Amino acid sequence: MRLVRSQSWCHLPRIRQPVSRRGGYTKKATENGDPFASAADCIAYNAANPGKLVSCTRVGTSGDDSLANAAAGEVVCGFGGADSMGRIQNASGGGVYDGGGADSVNVVGSGGTFNGGDGDDSVFLLDSGGTFNGGDGNDRVTDVRGTFNGGNGDDLANDIVSAVGVLATYDGGPDTDTLCNSGGGTSVVNVEVFACT
């Protein structure tokens, strides 16, 4: 059987290298950051979800990882566990896909994206132009200046403030979501509680 080009993205190259340095499905993830168990799973996902296959430039493990900062344009896949990272650098095209687990990033810089996946994920500073897609779980941001999409779960934003010329947004999604303080000039939707105790 001859593979079409889109399927070949999921196969391991025939080079003798450690698994962590190979390509193929070991460096691919779903749009939520979940790894694949086999090339066949990767191919099936890619066929059912065109354009949603994530190509990782760096991968973690299924355990708890303390990941180095994500550089400009780098795509980091944590692959489960309670992963942590200091900063997603200010640059377009970079992102972190952490899969399941309670994951945390200290700072999501402008142009950076943090996809938390399942679990109670958190960000301390979501800078102007940065994006945090919480996914399932009770996600939290201390200081929202970018875009926070909470997803399923009881999400919380402590403070939301827009920078000059950049609108800060918070979409809590379904369930009971909370916003403690708003600096005005922001976009807040699907949030039910507007005070913190």
CA distance 69 to 75: 11
35-79 tens-digit pLDDT:
888 888 998 999 999 988 888 888 888 888 888 888 877 888 887
Q: What is the DSSP letter of 136?
A: S
Structure token digits, residue 114: 């943090």
Shared domain check, 151 and 93: yes
Domain count, the chain: 2
pLDDT exceeds cutoff 80 at 197: no
Domain edge (last residue) among 32, 55, 78:
55
Shared domain check, 108 and 126: yes
List the alpha helices (DSSP H) in the chain.
Answer: 5-8, 39-48
Q: What is the pLDDT of residue 7?
A: 53
Shared domain check, 137 and 91: yes
Shared domain check, 170 and 144: yes
Shared domain check, 176 and 87: yes
CA distance 174 to 151: 7
Q: Which of the four pLDDT bands, split at 50, 70 and 90, describes residue 148?
A: very high
Shared domain check, 100 and 165: yes
Shared domain check, 76 and 50: no
Q: Judge whether 127 and 148 are in contact, CB under 8 Å.
A: no
Shared domain check, 120 and 44: no
Shared domain check, 80 and 46: no
Share of the chain above pLDDT 90, in %: 36
Which range marks the domain in which residue 97 is found? 61-197
Q: What is the pLDDT of residue 5?
A: 45
Shared domain check, 170 and 82: yes
